[in-house]
Amino acid sequence: MRTLFTVFRKEVVDNFRDRRTMASALLMGPLFGPILFAFVINLSVERSLSDVEKSLEVPILGVEHAPNLVRYLESKNLDIIAGPETRELAIEAVTAGIHDIVVVIPENFGAQLTDAMPARIELISDQANTTADRDARRVRNALRNYNDELATIRLLARGVSPLVLRPLNIDDVDVSTASGRSGILLGMMSYFFLFAMLMGGMYLAIDTTAGERERGSLEPLLTLPVTRDKLILGKIIATCVFMALSLMLSLTSFFFALKFMPLEELGMTPNFGPDVVGKSFLLLAPFILIGASVMTLVASFTKSYKEAQTWLSVVLLAPTLPILIVSLLTLRPRLEFMFIPSLSQHLLLIDLIKNEPVNTAHLAISVTSTLLFGAMLTWLCARLYRREGLLV
C-alpha cells in the first residue's frame, strides 16, 4: 500500500511540474471543447438572426422591365441595385464572386405577364457557395411569394377561389422541448468530455512505459525491491487522477461557457446546472479506468515517446467510433448499447442533459460493464509490464 502511494505521489509531483502534461491536462483538454462549441454556436446564432434583420443587396439587370416586381422586392427588405450591363457580364460577375446573386429580367417580361404566359426570370447564383445559396433562397422565396400573389389576383379576377390551389394545408407540430432540442447539440459534448479526460492522462500513460524507457529510468526502477504490479498500478492510479481532474475542469468550463452562449435564441434551454455537472462527472468517471489502461497499454508497445504520441492520438479518436455509428444510424438507446463503453456514457449523458429520466438499469449496466472492462485492461497492463521485453 505504501509503495503504491509512493509511486502515485511521485508521479503526481513529477507531472505537476511538467509543463507539457499540465498544458494538455488543464488547458487543452478542458478548454478546447467549450471554446470550439461557443464559437460555433455564436456564429450560427448570429447568422440565423442576421438573415431576417439585414437587408440584402440584390443586383437586377433590367429593372426597368418590371417596376411592380422591383417595388414588391423592395418591400421585402431587399435592396435593389442596378446589375451588370449584360447577362454574360452578370454570369461572369457571379463566377468571379463579385456578386453572390444577380436577377435578370428579360425585355419581354412585361409582355409575357400581360399575356398571362409564364414570364421568364433568371436567378444567377453559385449553389456551391453556401452563403450565396442562402441569399439566393431568400430572393427565390420573395419571387415565389410574388408569384403566389399574382396567381391569387388572377384567379379572383376570373371568379375562382384561390383556395383551389391549396388542396393541402400542412401544419408542422413540433413536440420537442427546448431541453430536448439542446440534447442533439449538447450530445456532441459527451465526446468533448471524453476527449478532455483522455488528454489529461495521455502524457502520464506515455511516461509509464515509453517515457521511462527512453529516459533510461525504467531499468533502475525495476531493480528495486518492489513488485512490478505495484509500480504499474501506482502509475495508472496517478493517470486516473489527472484524467479525473481534466474531466472535472472540462465539465466546469463548459458550465460557464454555456452562460455565454445564446442558446435560447436557437430555441434550446440546456439542462446543465451544477447538479448535472456533478452527475455527469459520476456518469463519465467509470470510463477513466478504461482510458488510462488503454493508453498505458498502447504506449507500452511503442519504442519511443514520439511513437507513443502518434498512436495515442489515434486512441483519442477511438471513443467517437461507437458514438458516430449510432448517431449516423439514428438508433434509439437500447439495453445492449449499455455494454459498450463510451457509447453508454454518451447515451446516458444525452438523457441527463435532455432532462429525461435516466433508466436505472441502463445506468447500472453502463457503470458495471465499463468498470469491468477497465479492470480487465488494467490487469492486461500489469501482465505486459512483467514481461522481459518491456526494457527492449
Partner 1 sequence: MIKIAGLSKSFGNVHAVRGVSFEASDGKITGLLGPNGAGKSTTLRVLYTVLKPDEGAASIDGHDVVDNSLDARRVTGALPHGAGLYPHLTARENIAYYASLCGLQRKDIPQKVDSIIELLEIQDFAHRRTKGFSHGQRTKVALARALVHDPQNVILDEPSNGLDVMATRSLRDLILKLKDTGRCVLFSSHVMQEVAALCDDIVIIANGQVAIDDSADGIREKTGCNDLEDAFVEAIQMVARD
**Contact positions vs partner 1 (CB under 8 A):** 2-3, 6-7, 10, 13-15, 17-18, 212, 215-217, 219-227, 388, 391
CB atoms within 10 A of CB 143: 17
Residue type, 285: A
State in angstroms the smallest separation of the CB of 235 from partner 1.
13
Nearer to partner 1, 20 or 47 (CB): 20
- How many residues are there in the chain? 392
State in angstroms the smallest separation of the CB of 18 from partner 1.
6
State in angstroms the smallest separation of the CB of 378 from partner 1.
21
State in angstroms the smallest separation of the CB of 228 from partner 1.
10
Nearer to partner 1, 20 or 120 (CB): 20
Q: In angstroms, rounded to a whole number, what is the distance separating the alpha carbons of residues 240 and 287?
A: 10
Cα dihedral sign, 19-21-22-24: positive
State in angstroms the smallest separation of the CB of 298 from partner 1.
22
Nearer to partner 1, 146 or 305 (CB): 305
State in angstroms the smallest separation of the CB of 20 from partner 1.
10
Q: In angstroms, rounded to a whole number, what is the distance separating the alpha carbons of residues 325 and 329?
A: 6
> What is the per-residue DSSP string for 185-246?
HHHHHHHHHHHHHHHHHHHHHHIIIIIHHHHT-HHHHHTSSS-HHHHHHHHHHHHHHHHHHH
Q: Is beta strand 122-125 parallel, antiparallel or unpaired with respect to 78-82?
A: unpaired
Nearer to partner 1, 6 or 355 (CB): 6
SS3 251: helix
State in angstroms the smallest separation of the CB of 233 from partner 1.
13
Cα angle: 301, vertex 241, 358; to 5 degrees: 105
The distance between the two most distant Cα atoms of the chain, rounded to a whole number of Å, is 103
- Residue 241: what are its φ and ψ, rounded to 5°? -65, -45
Nearer to partner 1, 17 or 259 (CB): 17
State in angstroms the smallest separation of the CB of 386 from partner 1.
11
State in angstroms the smallest separation of the CB of 2 from partner 1.
8
Helix (H) or strand (E) holding 74: helix 67-75
CA dihedral 189, 190, 194, 200 (to 10 degrees): 40
Nearer to partner 1, 118 or 225 (CB): 225
Nearer to partner 1, 31 or 218 (CB): 218
Q: Classify residue 197 by burial, with Cβ atoms within 10 Å: 0-12, 13-18, 19+.
A: buried
Calculate the alpha carbon distances from 132 to 26, 56, 121 in Å. Answer: 41, 11, 18
Nearer to partner 1, 186 or 237 (CB): 237
Nearer to partner 1, 100 or 212 (CB): 212
DSSP 8-state assignment for residue 25:
I
